[in-house]
Every structure is written in structure tokens, then in C-alpha cells.
Amino acid sequence: MCGIIGYIGDRKACDVIVKGLKRLEYRGYDSAGVVTGNGETLDVRKGAGRIDELTEKLGFLEMEGNRGIGHTRWATHGVPNDINAHPQKDCTGRIVLVHNGIIENFAELKEELLKKGHVFRSDTDTEVIAHLIEEELKGSEDFEEALRKALNKLRGSFALAIVYADEPDKLYVVRNESPLVLGVGDGEMFAASDVPAFLEYTNKAVFLDDGEYAILTKNSYVVKRIDTGEVVEKPVHEISWTLEMAEKAGYPHFMLKEIYEQPRALKDAIHGNREIIKGVAEEIANYDRIIFVAMGTSYHAALVGKYLFQRLAKKVPIVEEASEFRYEFEDLIDDKTLVIAITQSGETADTLAAMKLAKRKGAKVLGIVNVVGSMATRIADLTLYTHAGPEIGVAATKTYTTQLTVLTMLAIELAKVLGTASEDYLKKLENELMKVPELVELALKHDNAIRELADVLKDKRDFFYIGRGISVPTALEGALKLKEISYIHAEGLSAGELKHGPLALLEDGVPVVAINPSGKVFDKMVSNIEEAKARGAMIISLSDREELSRVSDVLIKMPRVDELLSPIVYVVPLQLLAYHLAVLRGNDPDKPRNLAKSVTVE
């Protein structure tokens, strides 16, 4: 949530910053601002609204200077308005900064600063940081020392970018439980919340860890510990994906582009893990207490993982939302526990906190992550990458199906190591998995028909998504996608639960989306569909079985696939349905209201 971009070099800073902010829009925001300046004069412009509007209204591209920082804000303290937008500054206006995260002790710090005569202009926790640095600077002429003293008084999560008027050749950045990455250019340096912000200029990245700050000049950088001030040597990572991969490539929205990228992404996930998956399976095979932790769409992937582990490896994992895990499992974790953390960004605050707790308790932690170098990959003992490439749309699509692919590969390898499934069946399943990208391409051919269906459904107020067994998480994910971007109320549930309450909500014309691939619960699902049909529901079925047309108003005919692989294929039409409904209702599917791509606060 929120986005930071910083630049120091020979280019016009405002050009780099505005482009960077545009590439961070997917993180969600309600206001934005920029500060630039080479010498003692700092030009601060900010306001509530969209970047394009503010650029024209405030003249972001007219700002002078070769050093600057920009910010997109998602309000956590103080309502979204011009005053609360970032950058924020101290009493003198010489210390200007932007901040992502939440300062937990800001109220007590603010009270102390007010007593010392500081005057606050905003309601934000961010402004407290600027005044705190100002206060520490009164006892020292060394800005870095004052900054470090101030940082050590903060409690909470924060990524910061700071400019100090008296040091025009430096840019300061800080990371603690909120993502920040450096970009290393030729005679220029960048800092940002995410790599796409500076990928046009360099593919060399340095990922800061929690408790670190960096001092940037146009030709150098140094990273130090907040607590001790000791220099930390950091590796430089070369980013393998290109800026073009992060652009729309002719699609009207990133979400649609990313839906259509799934066949390629699935191939990359398979080939990218083929060599290492066996070693990971061997390392985790002896753990019987297995806990999946995740949030949002990644949580639905974890639910699929549970079914895969049960059916193939004969393991019975627990699946827990990361936000709840910390409070319920602390006394249940030890060195005999395996925690599998699934996070697209590798920066989800609740998931990182769960991983850290697991590590403290001695558990083995396996991360399933998309973003190379992210915090989750540095906490985890083992990491499997999903290789989905950059995903800009807020609603997860290709990162979800690649998570499912990696989980399937892991469950198959576990079953091989443990001897819990027949070799013939596992070989057959592996061969089918190799063909899944082609099956997803077939599923995408329903796009036009789904667009026409969406036109019929666009004014509906409620949807129900149902499935059984391994299709229940697909129902949950389909409902989540619809809620996220179309703003239509939707519930996903096990079809067996219909008669235990939800049937009371069904009436003429209410859409019920039924996920029913061939498998051991197919006939049971038909009975549940008939129950809904008898109440007047409009039945939209996804199945490879033609006979389902008898009880369906609409049948989306799916390719035949093993039931255990069906979640990867069957979610694709649900992604398309959500997308088209959002567009037809006048929504921007890439930037749904009140949501952010990476939730970096708890």
C-alpha cells in the first residue's frame, strides 16, 4: 500500500518521479506529492487525487532539480486531503520526507514534540518523523546521526525517503517492515517501493532488509544498520524481467493482459522449478505438522494446497490466515513444524509477521513467492518462486495460477518421496500438468461468450459461487474476484453448505456459479445445483460434462482435466467474468477502490 520513488542523478528528477509514481499506481492511493530541489530551496507540491490530475493541476513536470522524492498515499492516519498528503516536513521546511507504513507510538511522540514547541500542520503520523529528526538535529550538526537517533525512537512499520536541504547531494532512505529497494544506475541512483518504478533506467537492484537505511549520492550508495550504524554489504540483483513485461502491450487493462499471460506464466513456473522441487520435497518430507499461512488470494491457493497434500502425500495440513496465525498458534509451533507461507509480493505484512514468529519458535519455513529478493525470501529457510513475472493489476490472476502450479509440483514430489501414491498415477499427473498451459488457452477461448454473459448479468446484486472438494477454493476465489473489482456482493461456499442457510437467500434470477469438473463429487454437485435451480436461481455451470446442461441456464464447457489440476484451469473463466462485469459497470479493474496490490501494513 502506498508507493515511494526517489531519484538522484543528472536527469530532471520530476520526470523520473512522475513516471515512477505512475508505475506504482497499482499499489493503491488517494493522494500524491513530489519534492525536488538541488540547493537549499525545496519545492513541495502535493494534493488529494489521481496522479494525472495532480500533474496538470500542480505542475509536477515543471519542478526543477536533479534530486527528489515522490509518494502515493493510502490514508491510515488522517483523512485523504491536500494537507495530509505526502511529502511532510518539519517546522523549518528543511527536512522533507515521505513514508509508507504505520508509526505505532506516534501519539506519544507527538505529545512530547508539542511540549517542545513544534507546530504540526497535518494529522499524519508521518509528520511526527520529520519533527523528531528536527529535534534530534538540535543537539548535533550531523544529520545522519540525528536521523538514526530519531529512527531508534520509532515503533512500527516504515519505509522512508528523505531530503535535507543542507545536503543537496544526498538522498536518505529507510526500511523497516515496509518494502524499499534501491536501483543502481550509471551516475544515478533510485529508490522505490517496487522495481517497476525504476526499471526503465536500470535492472540492477539492491533490496534493503528490515532495520536498514541507505545514503545515496548520484555515484554511490552505502547501507547501514539503524541500531548500530554499522555498514552492511549488500548483493546487487539483476532483474530478469523487462519494462515491456510490466506494460499493457496493447490490452485495455493490466488485468486482462495478465489473464492472457497465464499460459506462458504456467510454463515458466513449471520449468523454473523442475530442477529444485525434488530437493525441497526431500527436505520437508519428514514434517507431519504442516501449517499453510497466507492472505487473500494466496489463502485460496493454500486451501488448494491442503487438498493436494492430503490426496497425494497423505499429509493433513492446517490452513490459517496469516493475520490470525500469530495470535492462535504461538504455543503450538516448534522445531517439528513446517510453515508454508504463500505471498505474491513477498511483502505482505501479516504473512511476514507469521513467518518471523515461526522462525523464532524454531519451525522450518518454506516461502512460495513471486518477487525475487523480497523480504519473504530472506526470512524463509527455503523458497520456491512462482516465476509469474510482474503483476500490476490489483486483483491477482497469473500469480494465483502459478502458485497452484508450484503447489501441485511440490505435492507430486512429496508423494514420490513418501511413496504415498502410485508411480503410474503420479507420472500421468505430471504429464497432464505439462499440458495445463494449453488447457488454459482453451479456457481463454470462452472470452467473447463470457463478455456476452456479463452483459446479461451486469445489473445483478448478488452472486453465489459453489463447489465441492478441491473446487471449493475455486468458488471462494471466483467470489473474491467479483467483489474486488465489480463491487457486486458475492459469496463463495461449499455446495454442501447451501441447505444449511444460504438457500434462504436464493430467489428468481439470482446467479449461482457452479464449479463441477469430473471427479468423485460430480454427482453430489449435480444434486446441489438442482436444489438451487428449484429455488429459481440462474445456474451458470463450469464443467467438462455436457449432461450438466440439463440443470444449467448457461454451461461453460471446460476441457477435460484431472480433478486435482482443475483449480488452475477452472478459475480462468471466473477471472474473465469478474473482469468484464467490472468494465461493463464502469469500474477500473486495475485500481479497485479501497484496495491495494501489496498490503504492507497489518
* Residues taking part in catalysis: 2, 597
Among candidate residues 578, 272, 239, 290, the one with its CA nearest the CA of residue 409: 272
Apex CA 67: angle with CA 64 and CA 70, to 5°? 90
318-321: strand order across its sheet: 318-321, 289-294, 337-343, 364-369, 382-385
| DSSP state for residue 102 in the 8-state scheme | E
Instruction: Give me 323's grid cell.
Output: 493475520
| DSSP state for residue 345 in the 8-state scheme | S
Residues 33, 42: Cα–Cα separation, whole Å: 13
Residues 429, 415: Cα–Cα separation, whole Å: 12
Torsion angle of alpha carbons 278, 284, 286, 292, nearest 10°? -130
Alpha helix stretches (DSSP H) within 380-486 = 398-418, 423-444, 447-457, 472-486
Q: How far apart are the first and last CA of the chain?
A: 11
Residues 378, 346: Cα–Cα separation, whole Å: 9
Among candidate residues 26, 33, 347, 37, the one with its CA nearest the CA of residue 175: 347
Residues 13, 36: Cα–Cα separation, whole Å: 7
Apex CA 147: angle with CA 46 and CA 47, to 5°? 5
Q: Report the greatest alpha carbon distance in the chain.
A: 81
